[in-house]
Amino acid sequence: MFSLVEAAENIITQGKCFCLITIIKTRGSTPRDVGAQMLVTDTQDYFSIGGGNLEMRAIQKAREMLTAMSGPQELDYILGPDMEQCCGGTVKLDLKIIQSMDALAALQAAAKAPLYLFGAGHVGTALMVALTPLPFALHIYDSRSDKDALFFDDIETIIGGVPHDALFLVMTHDHAQDYDLVSAILAREHVHFCGMIGSKTKRARFMARLKKDGLTDAQIDRLTCPIGIEGIEGKEPEIIAASVTAQLLQQLGDLHEH
């Protein structure tokens, strides 16, 4: 089974263009989730956004756009009344004509949620492996120059330049550095998710210090520690990474809902 990128490359190599259809928002019950994509040419279509009338109308619209070479469009559908599909939810589609692999790569990068991981130790490395194929734009930092990560020593500058919808994971080798990072992250105007590795005791100590340093209860409550979903036991890096990855995917769903 070839991938979407391979299918796109084959189309572009033939001197053709295609319409990329992406589900960018859902609510309620839907046949596919946010991020599902398909490619449509003037004669063929590849992959699926869920089938049924939704997909049929999306393909029809894509071919109309290809004929007119029109600009990008967004379409909203209520699956029950609009499509006579029993799912009953709502779907928002983004349709764009793609004429080069560079354009496709740029769109796919933009569609990923920015995730800033601080600490490239054993757990951080396991998370890199787990998260790489998933819809996250991963930025990995470490203050140790011998790690496979971007070096950092200026926390305020890095945190200040992060987009407002970013997700954060803090797991450095130094608790003092963890505190400085968490303090800077929680002080931001927008914090969708800030997770820190550690025990309930570490969380309690950090919360007391954060309050003493002037952060509000609402800001402090943004901190998730310990991290990972409940019910998964084990302290091996790969097990922790699996649990945290599942938690991040839940957060990704919440992010798309808003």
Burial string for 55-91 (b: 16+ CB within 10 Å, else e) reads: beebbebbbebbeeeeeeeeeebebeeebebebeebb
**Stretch(es) of the chain classified as CATH 3.40.50.720:** 112-257
The residues with which 226 forms a beta bridge, in sequence order, are none
Closest CA to 186 of 230, 155, 227: 155
Question: Using an 8 Å Cβ cutoff, are 198 and 226 in contact?
Answer: yes
Question: Using an 8 Å Cβ cutoff, are 101 and 123 in contact?
Answer: no
The residues with which 1 forms a beta bridge, in sequence order, are none
Burial of residue 200 (CB within 10 Å: 0-12, 13-18, 19+) is: exposed
For the chain, state the CA radius of gyration. Answer: 21
| pTM metric for this prediction | 0.70
Say which CATH topology domain 112-257 has: Rossmann fold (3.40.50)
pLDDT per residue of the chain (258 residues) written in tens, 0 to 9: 468 888 999 999 999 999 999 988 888 878 887 778 999 999 999 999 987 888 999 999 999 999 999 999 999 988 766 655 555 678 899 999 999 999 888 877 777 889 999 999 999 999 999 998 888 889 999 999 899 899 988 898 899 888 888 999 999 999 999 999 999 999 998 899 999 999 999 999 999 999 999 999 999 999 999 999 988 888 999 999 999 999 998 887 666 554
Angle at 132 between CA 131 and CA 137, to 5 degrees: 90
